Amino acid sequence: MGILHLIKSIVSYCFVKVHLEILRPLIILSPMELGSIMHFLQDKTILVTGATGFLAKIFVEKILRVQPNVKKLYLLLRARDTESATQRLHTEIIGKDLFRLLKEKLGTRFNSFVSEKLAVVPGDISQEDLNLEDPILGEEIFNQTDVIVNLAATTNFDERYDIALSINTLGVLHVLSFAKKCVKLKVLIHVSTAYVCGEREGLILEAPHHFGVSLNGVPGPDIDMEKKKVEDKLNQLREEGAIEHDIELAMKDLGTQRATMYGWPNTYVFTKAMGEMLVGTTKGNMNVVIVRPTMVTSTYKEPFPGWIEGLRTIDSIVVAYGKGKLVCFLANLEAVFDVIPADMVVNAMLVAMVAHANQPSDIIYHVGSSVVNPVMYLNLRDYSVRYFTEKPWINRDGKPVKVGKFTILRNMDSFRKYMYIRYLLPLKGLELVNAASCQYFQKMYLDFNRKIRTVLRLVELYKPYLFFNGVACFAHRFDNTNTEKLLSSARQGGVETELFYFDTKMIDWEDYFINIHFPGIIKYAFK
C-alpha cells in the first residue's frame, strides 16, 4: 500500500521569506580556537552512547580509520552483560559493510586492532548511572574519558510515551549526571534534531528551548508532571487489566496528546526538545555542545559514497516509487526539504568537538542544507523518475518494474477526496457485501478496514509535516549561522578540511541523488 510508505516519511518545507542578512548579525559568536582534528583525537578516550545507531557507527568508523592512535572508544550498548554487548558489537557495528575499507586496510590485524581500541559497555541511558553494573569499569570510564558523544535516542515518531520520555528526555539527564563524574571530560556532544522547532514558522535560529515555554501559548512542559502523567496512566491501565497491546496504544496516544498540547507535532520531537531543555537546566559548568542535524541521508564520500542503513525519511517515498507502489505524492513540489549526508553530520560533530574542548560554551549547531544549498521536492520527483526509468528495479521474479506518473496531492481536501473515492467507498461496499453474505468476507473487511484506519491515524500524526495552514509545506528553514562560523574557523585554524568536510554548498544534488543516494538505497535498503 504505497500511501502507507508515503505518510510515514514525507516531510515538506516551504521557502522562508526572511532576509537572512538582517537576522544573522543579531547572533554574536565568540572566536573559536581550532587546530588539527587528527592531533586532538590522538590518545583521547571517547564514550559513545547509542553506539548501534546509524550516525554512531559512522562516527566510530571515521575515528578508527583516520586516527588509529586514538586511545579508546567506549561503546555503550543496551545489553544484559558483556558477552551480549560483544555480540551486538560484532553483528550490529563492525560486521557492517561500513567497515569494509578499514578491514581492507588492516587485513589480519583488524580483529586485534578493534579489540584494543573498542571497549563495549553494557548499559542503558534510561537508567541512573547508565545502569553500569561493573564498578571497576565505571571507575575506569570516569577517570579516562575525555569526550562524551550522546547519540542514544528512539527516533520513532509514534513511539510509546513512556519509552520516548525515558530515552530521549530522562536519558539526557542520566548522561549529564554520569558526565559530571568524568574528571578529565573536555566536552560533551549531545546530538538532537533540527525538528525540535515544532510547528513554528519562519527562520529557525540555533537557539535553546526552555522549560515553562511552549510553542503555542500555553504554559510549557514540566518534567516532573510529564513523568507523573506516564506513571498515573500506566497504573490506571494495569488496574483495569489492560492487555499489552492496549497499553502500547494508550502510551502512543498519550505521547501524541502531550506533544500537540504544547505545540510539538509528535512524541519524538517533543521528547527530544525536553532533552535539550534538561541540558540547559542541569549542565552547570559542563562544556556541552548541541548538534541538530536535519534529515540525515546516505554518506556523501566516506568511507565510501552511498552507505545507508534502513529506510530514512524520504527514502520510503523513493522505495515505494521504485517498486511501482507509489500511487500518490503529498507535497508542494516547490517546497524545500532539508537533507544532509551522514558523513557531513559526523564531520561537523568532530570539528565542533575540537572547537569547544576546554572552552566554555553554550552553543547549538544546525547541520543541514535548506539555507545554503536548498533542494526541492520538484527535484526529488524528477530525479526519481529519471533514475528508475533508466535503471528500473528488478523484482524477485527477475523482472524490471516499470514506473510511471503518480497523483500529486497538494492539500488535505484533495487527500480526503482521494481517500474517499479510492478506499472509503470500496470499503463501504465491502461492508455491505459482507453483511449480505452472513460475514463471509469478514476477514477481508477487517483487514482492509485496519489498513485504512492505520493510514488515517498516520495522516493525523504526520499532518503538521505534510500540510501547514492547508498547503503541503512547512514554512521554515534552519538558520546555520553558528555552523557557518564553525566552518570558517575550521578553514582558518588548521583543521584538515578535506578530511573533515561539512560544507553543503559543495553538493551537486542531482549527482548526489542519482549517482550516490539512490544506488545506495537499492544496495542497502531495498528488500
Sign of the alpha-carbon dihedral angle for 103, 108, 109, 112:
positive
Measured between alpha carbons, how far is 515 from 22 in angstroms, rounded to an integer? 37
The pLDDT of residue 463: 58
Active site residues: 268, 272
Contact between 340 and 403 (Cβ < 8 Å): no
Our CA angle for 70, 73, 79, nearest 5°, is: 165
Indicate the pTM of the whole model: 0.87
Better pLDDT: 318 or 480: 480
Share of the chain above pLDDT 70, in %: 88
The cell numbers describing 251, all together, are 502510551
The pLDDT of residue 12: 35
The pLDDT of residue 389: 93
Task: Give residue for cell 507535497.
Answer: 331
Q: What letter does residue 203 receive in the DSSP assignment?
A: E
Task: Give residue for cell 465491502.
Answer: 430
Q: With 50 as the cut, is the pLDDT of residue 503 above it?
A: yes
Q: How far is CA 510 from CA 25, 376, 404, 481, 498, in A?
A: 32, 11, 20, 25, 22
Residues in a beta bridge with 191? 291
Better pLDDT: 494 or 12: 494
Edge-first strand listing for the sheet containing 288-293 = 118-122, 72-77, 45-49, 147-150, 187-191, 288-293, 362-367
The three-class DSSP label of residue 81 is: coil
Q: With 50 as the cut, is the pLDDT of residue 29 above it?
A: no
CA 462 from chain centre, in angstroms, equals: 15
Q: How far is CA 339 from CA 62, 94, 140, 480, 488, in A?
A: 21, 26, 39, 13, 21
Q: Lowest mean pLDDT of 221-230, 261-270, 290-299, 311-320, name the range.
A: 311-320
For 462-473, write each residue's pLDDT tens digit: 555 554 443 344
Domains located in the chain, CATH noted: 37-308+337-372+475-507 (3.40.50.720)
DSSP code per residue over 39-69: HHHTT-EEEEESTTSHHHHHHHHHHHHH-TT
Q: Please report which confidence band the pLDDT of residue 33 belongs to, taking 50, 70 and 90 as the band edges.
A: low
Q: How far is CA 239 from CA 212, 228, 236, 243, 247, in A?
A: 32, 16, 5, 11, 11
Q: With 50 as the cut, is the pLDDT of residue 430 above it?
A: yes
Length of the chain (residues): 527
